[in-house]
């Protein structure tokens, strides 16, 4: 669910003559997308850190992936009122998702699984859903229909057929979990890029930040230090129908894709926050989105409109400090 954002890994090979540790790169497919991890440490320490990160990512994937039939989220009951105890990763995803739904007035909603699956099929067919079908599926959704007790980690839905989809926050959760695992091995200087959800830890020795290039057609370069960035929009995943581009990002209020050509790049202290922000701000737009950003000075974002007269409009600051 990301526009193309790529870490400028090649630029890290030569670090301007500063004394640095070697940067090691690791790649693996995680959550259906490529995950790249950079670790600035000696080879043995970097290998241990990357192995710990990928083990942790496998656990998160098994809990949250909508694509794995055996995943914990796919095994949740579909019948209203049936209560189950969930594992810690799924519980953390539920708690975070419900908090973001509350925070954004429902612009972020992880209960749209029935709709997102139907719209994925529609994009494959090249034919949008009918309005009646979308409305019927929307009736099975709604974050207020979730009954979750964080203390006991118990979950139930208040409507039949409610299906969770953590596509708008799962990779952020995974990136945060991977970085936590890396730090658990004693390594602090690392960067995780999980399909465009980028989380930077301490920079390599001798550098003030990790250098990250944004594939936005404008040559944007960012400098990240203990910060996350995520870009969301319709650049890669969309459906063109009747002269309108329908984004993969859905408006939970209507069950219909966002039709405005918009891309949002969100900055936050954690990848989970940046991931959720980027999706919600696509739905909210700048005016309502700024109200969300104003609640936390550590968040910032930019909106850009590929078809509009302006390339980008900053929300709270244009880039993280160097």
Q: What is the pLDDT of residue 258?
A: 82
pLDDT band at 247 (very low <50, low <70, confident <90, very high): low
- What residue numbers bound the domain in which 114 lies? 73-157
Is the residue at 68 inside a domain? no
pLDDT of residue 21: 67
Please name every residue paired with 302 in a beta bridge, in sequence order, or none if there are none: 265, 314
Rg (CA), the chain: 20
Q: What is the mean pLDDT of residues 42-55?
A: 98
- Whether pTM > 0.75 for this model: the answer is yes
pLDDT in tens, 92-127: 999 999 999 999 999 999 999 999 999 888 888 777
**Percent share of the chain, pLDDT over 90:** 68
CA atoms within a 13 Å half-sphere pointing along the CA-CB vector of 72: 20
pLDDT at 257 over 90: no
Q: Check whether 206 has a pLDDT greater than 80.
A: yes
Domain count, the chain: 1
pLDDT at 52 over 70: yes
Using pLDDT thresholds of 50, 70 and 90, give the confidence band for residue 183: very high
Q: Strand locations in the chain, DSSP E?
A: 5-7, 23-30, 33-40, 84-85, 146-149, 154-157, 190-194, 197-200, 210-214, 221-224, 227-233, 238-241, 244-247, 250-251, 256-257, 263-268, 300-304, 313-314
Angle at 285 between CA 283 and CA 290, to 5 degrees: 120
Q: Is residue 13 part of a domain?
A: no
**For 278-320, how does the pLDDT look when each residue is reduced to its tens digit (9 = 90+)?**
999 999 999 999 999 999 999 999 998 766 533 344 443 334 4
pLDDT of residue 16: 34
8 A C-beta contact, residue 50 and residue 26:
yes
Tell whether 263 is covered by a domain. Answer: no
DSSP 131: H
- Tokens encoding 310: 């302006």
Query: What pLDDT was estimated at residue 232?
Result: 84
**Residue 202 included in any domain:** no
Instruction: Tell me what pLDDT residue 12 has.
Output: 39
pLDDT number for residue 144 = 98
Min mean pLDDT across 135-144, 237-246, 262-271 is at: 237-246
What is the pLDDT, as a whole number, of residue 307? 60
Examine residue 24 and state whether it is found in any structural domain, yes or no: no
pLDDT digits (tens, 9 = 90+) for 144-174: 999 999 999 999 999 999 999 999 999 999 9
Q: Give the pLDDT band (50/70/90) at residue 184.
A: very high
Separation of alpha carbons 301 and 150, rounded Å: 30
Question: What pLDDT score does 95 carry?
Answer: 98
Does 237 fall in a domain?
A: no
Q: What is the pLDDT of residue 249?
A: 86
Residue 50 lies in a domain: no
Question: Which uninterrupted H or E stretch holds 284?
Answer: helix 271-293
Across the chain, mean pLDDT equals 86
| In-domain check, residue 118 | yes
Contacts of 91-96 with C-beta under 8 Å, sequence gap 24+, read 91/148, 91/150, 91/153, 91/155, 92/173, 93/63, 93/64, 93/166, 93/169, 93/170, 93/173, 94/146, 94/148, 94/150, 94/155, 94/164, 95/148, 95/150, 96/169, 96/173, 96/272, 96/276
Instruction: Report the phi/psi class of residue 141: left, alpha or beta, with left for phi > 0 and alpha for psi in -120 to 50.
Output: beta
Average the pLDDT over 46-75 and give the result.
Answer: 96
CATH classification at residue 81? 1.10.3980.10
Q: Which of 281, 274, 220, 271 is nearest to 249 (CA)?
A: 281
Contact 283, 252 (CB under 8 A): yes
Specify the range with the lowest mean pLDDT, choosing from 225-229, 230-234, 261-265, 307-311. 307-311
User: What pLDDT is attached to residue 14?
Assistant: 32
- Place 45 in a pLDDT band, splitting at 50, 70 and 90: very high
């Amino acid at each position: 669910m990301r526009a193309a954002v790529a870490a400028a890994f090649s630029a890290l090979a030569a670090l301007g003559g500063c004394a640095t540790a070697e940067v090691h790169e690791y790649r693996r497919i995680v959550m259906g997308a490529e995950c790249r991890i950079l670790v600035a440490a000696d080879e043995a320490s970097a290998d241990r850190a990357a192995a710990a990160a990928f083990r942790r990512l496998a656990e998160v994937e098994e809990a949250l992936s909508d694509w794995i039939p055996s995943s914990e989220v796919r095994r949740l009951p579909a019948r209203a009122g049936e209560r189950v105890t969930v594992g810690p990763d799924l519980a953390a995803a539920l708690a975070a998702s419900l908090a973001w739904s509350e925070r954004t007035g429902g612009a972020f909603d992880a209960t749209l699984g029935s709709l997102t699956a139907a719209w994925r099929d529609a994009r494959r067919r090249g034919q949008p859903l009918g309005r009646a079908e979308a409305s019927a599926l929307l009736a099975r959704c709604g974050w207020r229909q979730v009954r979750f007790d964080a203390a006991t980690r118990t979950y139930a839905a208040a409507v039949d057929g409610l299906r969770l989809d953590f596509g708008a926050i799962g990779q952020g959760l995974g990136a945060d979990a991977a970085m936590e695992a890396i730090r658990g091995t004693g390594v602090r200087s690392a960067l995780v890029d999980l399909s465009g959800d980028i989380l930077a830890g301490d920079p390599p020795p001798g550098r003030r930040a990790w250098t990250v290039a944004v594939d936005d057609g404008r040559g944007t370069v960012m400098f990240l230090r203990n910060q996350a960035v995520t870009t969301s929009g319709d650049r890669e995943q969309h459906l063109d129908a009747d002269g309108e581009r329908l984004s993969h990002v859905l408006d939970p209020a209507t069950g219909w894709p966002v039709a405005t050509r918009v891309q949002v790049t969100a900055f936050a202290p954690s990848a989970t926050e940046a991931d959720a922000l980027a999706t919600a701000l696509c739905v909210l737009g700048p005016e309502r989105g700024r109200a969300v950003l104003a609640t936390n000075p550590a968040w910032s974002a930019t909106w850009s409109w590929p078809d509009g007269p302006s390339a980008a409009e900053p929300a709270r600051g244009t880039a993280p400090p160097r």
